[in-house]
């Protein structure tokens, strides 16, 4: 069921937080190109008063993409232990119409993999799944 958007954030929300093995900055830069919004990226080397190993200074400790009050967040996992989480999860992106679905799907699948081509279903006039070049699985859908 689609949650009504009221122009302000509710007291409780669920926002995806993606973990990457070093590709967070590139992924969020691409998501910003695709979806627009406001992007914030904080590197581990930017943490005040912290001594971060040189090889981890450019890893992202926090990225946030705010699109109309909705957040997509993520970071790099310096332990490399997050790979399985991305492989088992999907981010659902609801769009207002078929042309927007086609553009978002094509941009996300570029360099990745189309796992379910966009098509009309019993629950959506246009719905599909893809995996982007960073291994993030996406569901793109137009509401009925």
Distance in angstroms (rounded) separating the CA atoms of residues 144 and 135: 28
pLDDT digits (tens, 9 = 90+) for 67-121: 999 999 999 987 776 665 666 689 999 999 999 999 999 999 999 999 999 999 9
| 64 vs 15, residue with greater confidence | 64
Q: In the prediction, which pLDDT does 34 show? A: 97
More confident residue, 10 or 38: 38
What is the model's pLDDT at position 1?
A: 35
Domain ranges for the chain: 15-81, 89-144
Phi and psi at 54, nearest 5°, equal -55, -40
Q: Which residues contact 126 (CB under 8 A, 6 or more apart)?
A: 98, 101, 102, 118, 119, 120, 140, 141, 142
**Tokens coding 56:** 């981890």
**The CATH classification of domain 89-144, taken from the options 3.40.30.10, 3.30.750.24, 3.30.9.10, 3.30.720.110:** 3.30.720.110
CATH number of the domain located at residue range(s) 15-81 in this protein: 3.10.180.10
- In this prediction, residues 119-140 reach a mean pLDDT of 95
């Amino acid at each position: 069921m689609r949650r009504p958007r009221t122009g302000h954030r509710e007291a409780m929300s669920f926002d995806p937080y993606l973990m990457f093995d070093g590709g967070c900055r590139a992924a969020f830069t691409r998501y910003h190109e695709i979806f627009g919004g406001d992007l914030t990226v904080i590197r581990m080397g930017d943490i005040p008063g912290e001594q971060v190993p040189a090889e981890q200074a450019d890893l992202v400790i926090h990225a946030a993409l705010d699109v109309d009050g909705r957040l997509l967040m993520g970071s790099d996992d310096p332990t490399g232990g997050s790979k399985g989480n991305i492989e088992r999860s999907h981010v659902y992106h609801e769009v207002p119409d078929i042309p927007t679905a086609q553009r978002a799907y094509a941009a996300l699948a570029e360099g990745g993999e189309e796992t379910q081509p966009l098509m009309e279903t019993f629950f959506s006039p246009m719905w599909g799944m893809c995996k982007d070049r960073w291994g993030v699985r996406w569901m793109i859908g137009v509401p009925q």
